[in-house]
């Protein structure tokens, strides 16, 4: 099964078709009912950190059917159709459904683990400066400015210069703390949406089962699935570890989905070992 050769292949199998329809309807609800009428759809159904007051257990699944914009949903649904159709034809609908949801859930859990760690560090920093301000301790302004610099929070040069020259101005420090508090709450309650984690699981399973199938990058450059998959996974893992400021993509969800997908397909296929290379 190193190379995919279709036999009685359905171009749009039933689960893939239904997933595309459901995702599309949910996205339309986001941009119409949600955004036009200012309903808190993201607060209710997008995935939030465990420590966020907005977290609800059902978000582990519902976030898979929400997307940020047209390109986001198009990219995910195109990849789901391209690689998922092969798997659903191979496995049948019930098995593919279980696989897809398992990858999405695994991706969400790994994402939450790393997000919880990051928020834990942020919370400790934030509570430290809150305590310093409440006690009016010397060095509170320096600690606040260090927090802002570390987290790339934009402050006015005039305000920074004033506080550095007047660190004893407790009222002005309080106004700065309000800005930092806004950043903290925003970060704590930032939602995660998209089917990417589950789709990465689908991609990983395809690469494992059909490593020598040619994929055409930019529709022209032929590359075997195993090399494209390894390169893409390495790229996502590198960016996840790097954790660059300003990167708003849930890289660990991608990595988690791929790992879960590989583990599942490896287990299912353990009686049919083959050479990957």
Domains and CATH numbers, the chain: 14-114+192-268 (1.20.1540.10), 117-188 (no CATH)
Predicted confidence at residue 129, as pLDDT, reads 94
CA distance 153 to 54: 23
φ/ψ of residue 221, rounded to 5: -95, 110
CA distance 43 to 52: 10
Predicted confidence at residue 38, as pLDDT, reads 77
Predicted confidence at residue 248, as pLDDT, reads 76
Q: How far is CA 18 from the centre of its chain?
A: 22
Instruction: Write out residues in the chain with pLDDT < 50, as ranges.
Output: 4, 6-7, 276-277
Predicted confidence at residue 244, as pLDDT, reads 65
Cβ atoms of 254 and 240 closer than 8 Å: yes
CA-nearest of 260, 44, 99, 228 to 252 is: 260
Predicted confidence at residue 5, as pLDDT, reads 53
Other Cβ atoms within 10 Å of 253 Cβ, number: 29
pLDDT tens track for 82-139: 999 999 999 999 999 999 999 999 999 999 999 999 999 999 999 999 999 998 888 8
Cβ atoms of 61 and 101 closer than 8 Å: yes
Stretch (H or E) spanning 255: helix 251-268
Predicted confidence at residue 192, as pLDDT, reads 94
DSSP type of residue 224: E
Burial letters 116-153, b for 16+ CB under 10 A, else e: eeebeebeebbeebbebbeeeeeebbebbbebbeeeeb
Question: What pTM was computed for the model?
Answer: 0.86
CA distance 223 to 164: 56
CA distance 97 to 192: 22
């Amino acid at each position: 099964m190193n190379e995919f050769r279709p036999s009685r292949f359905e171009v749009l199998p039933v689960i893939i078709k239904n997933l595309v329809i459901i995702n599309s309807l949910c996205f339309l609800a986001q941009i119409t009912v949600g955004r036009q009428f200012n309903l808190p759809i993201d607060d209710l159904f997008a995935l939030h950190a465990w420590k966020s007051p907005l977290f609800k257990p059902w978000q582990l699944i519902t976030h898979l059917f929400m997307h940020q914009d047209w390109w986001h949903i198009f990219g995910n649904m195109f990849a789901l159709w391209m690689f998922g159709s092969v798997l659903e034809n191979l496995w049948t609908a019930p098995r593919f459904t279980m696989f897809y949801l398992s990858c999405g859930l695994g991706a969400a859990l790994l994402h939450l683990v790393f997000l919880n760690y990051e928020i834990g560090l942020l919370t400790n920093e934030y509570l430290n400066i809150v305590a310093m301000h409440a006690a009016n301790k010397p060095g509170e302004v320096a600690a606040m400015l260090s927090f802002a610099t570390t987290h790339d929070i934009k402050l006015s040069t005039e305000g920074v210069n004033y506080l550095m020259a007047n660190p004893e101005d407790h009222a002005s420090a309080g106004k700065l703390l309000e800005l930092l508090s806004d950043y903290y709450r925003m970060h704590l309650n930032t939602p995660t949406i998209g089917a990417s984690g589950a789709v990465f699981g689908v991609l990983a399973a395809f690469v494992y089962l059909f490593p020598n199938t040619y994929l055409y990058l930019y529709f022209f450059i032929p590359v075997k699935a195993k090399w494209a998959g390894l390169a893409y996974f390495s790229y996502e893992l590198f960016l996840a570890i790097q954790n660059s400021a300003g990167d708003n993509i849930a890289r660990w969800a991608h990595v988690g989905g791929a790992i879960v997908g590989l583990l599942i397909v490896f287990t299912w296929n353990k009686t049919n070992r083959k050479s990957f290379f």
